[in-house]
Amino acid sequence: MIYKESDHVRLSEDESAVVFLDQSALPLKREFIETDDLKRMYDAIYLLEVRGAPCIGIFAGYCTFVRARALAQKFGQDKNSWLEELSKETKYLNSSRPTAVNLSYAIDRMMKKASSLTGEDVPVEGIVSALRDEAVKIHEEDISMCLKIAEYGLSLIKDGFGILTHCNAGPLATSRYGTALGPILLGHERGVILRVFADETRPLLQGARLTSYELDQAGVDVTLICDNMASMVMKQGKIDCCFVGCDRVAANGDTANKIGTSQVAIMAKHYGIPFYVLGPVSSIDINCKSGDDIVIEERDPDEIRSKFYANPMAPASVKCYNPAFDVTDHELISAIITDRGILYPPFTESIGSIL
CATH number of the domain that residue 238 is part of: 3.40.50.10470
Rounded to whole angstroms, how far apart are CA atoms 5 and 172?
6
Q: Do residues 112 and 40 share a domain?
A: yes
Q: What pLDDT digit, counting tens, does each position of 31-72 carry?
A: 999 999 999 999 999 999 999 988 999 999 999 999 999 999
Same domain, 45 and 157: no
Buried b / exposed e over 134-157, threshold 16 CB at 10 Å, is bbbebbebbbebbbbbbebbbebb
Residue ranges making up the domain that contains 327: 148-354
**Domain's final residue, options 122, 146, 170:** 146
222 domain residue, yes or no: yes
- The catalytic site residues sit at 247
Which of 146, 171, 199 terminates a domain? The answer is: 146
Q: What confidence tens digit (pLDDT) does each residue in 272-312 have? A: 999 999 999 988 999 999 999 999 999 999 999 999 999 99
Strand partners for 248: 256
Q: In the listed set 119, 146, 173, which residue is the last one of a domain according to the structure?
A: 146
| Alpha-carbon gap, residue 288 to 255, rounded angstroms | 11
In a domain, 256, yes or no: yes
The total of structural domains in the chain comes to 2
Does 32 share its domain with 127?
yes
Calpha distance 115→14 (Å, rounded):
25
**In contact, 153 and 276? CB cutoff 8 Å:** yes
Residue 275 belongs to some domain of the structure: yes
- Beta-carbon contacts of 302 under 8 Å, excluding residues fewer than 6 positions away, are 320
User: What is the value of pTM for the model shown?
Assistant: 0.90
Is the predicted pLDDT of residue 1 greater than 70, yes or no? no
What is the tens place of the pLDDT at every residue in 96-149?
A: 998 878 999 999 999 999 999 988 889 999 999 999 999 999 999 999 999 999
